[in-house]
Chain A
Amino acid sequence: MKSVRWQLIAAFAITFVFVAPILWMVLAAFKTINDIYAIPPVWVPDFTYLENFKLLLSENWQFLLNSTIVTLSATALCLAFALPCAFGLVYFQFGAKNFLADWILSTRMMPPIAAAVPLYMVFNGAGMLDTMPALVIAYAGFNLPFAVWVAMSFFRNIPKEIIEAARIEGCGWFQTFRLVALPLAKSGIATVATFVFIFAWNELLLALFLTTREAKTFPVVISSFSTVTKTYWELISAATIIQILPPVIFTILMQRHIVSGLTMGAVKN
């Protein structure tokens, strides 16, 4: 009994360490800048004080919209390429298949910063700097290797006979992919989509490089609240709450799909 109690205390302590910044941020979002710096601290703010949110959204709603558009498009574009690619790598027979799969993965080994300058040059040359399509392409591209590999593992888990049965029943490859492989890999697709979504939504580095004004995403806006002369903690806090909400909601929605087991009962082992 005693050890269980200590374990609980330890668990709460560790959890507190991790949750503290978020807690501080939530509290700060409802304070004025003076309350944030006040000594003794204002522990519990007035939660009806919404000026920070109002100010933030009235000036920056279009960047939040940018973030939404870029994230959803990048996720969709990434899946549109990754899923057929993974399907082909798993089911088609061709030479250098494994080499190709490894090569796709190897591109993941490069840090994104290494590509930042070349990407800047490319999009500059294409006249696409500070446009959302540039960000969509960059984000989808960066996530492709990961998405392909995860999707491959999910396609591999589909019993081979089910794919073969579809082909004998008259499906071409595309129909087999759409009518059989995709529904059976649903949980895998949800997993991939969640990861790509979170990456694209939170990405800052490339967005700083590739956008200036029009296509700025929300993380770029948040970073701009810390200036040389002043840090707007109240705005940063409010913006961060808005920033973390979509991934949390998205993950909760996808959670039940991520729990797999859909192929149970398909094949008797």
Chain B
Amino acid sequence: MSWQTPSDLKYARTDEYVRLEGDRATIGLSDYAQDQLNDVVFVELPEVGAHFEKGKPFGAVESVKAASDLLMPVGGTVVEINEQLTDEPELLNSSPYDKGWIIKIQVDDASEAGSLMDADAYTEYCNTR
């Protein structure tokens, strides 16, 4: 199998990606993760303004057969949530890196992203699972 792993993103072992843009970041779920989950039927989103540390759950995704927590790849404060996912959770499947983004945050400390994988490392990681 092959999955898209855009090279401008960083990836967590729990399959969240982060797109860093200065002190802002966009967080979503990788193509590999959406493929494993199959049809996503529900996304639980946090409230704007909520603060989460790195590694803490900020929401959850559900498919018919599985549910998994969404963990913060880096700590930060939620500044925007993708409300379109409430009505169209399938965007997570059809467009994980674009229309299917989940939250945007104000990053606490961008150096926290240092421990995340780059695209090559993440591709390798997915292939060995």
Q: Do A and B come from one complex?
A: no
> CB within 8 Å of A: which residues of B?
none
> CB within 8 Å of B: which residues of A?
none
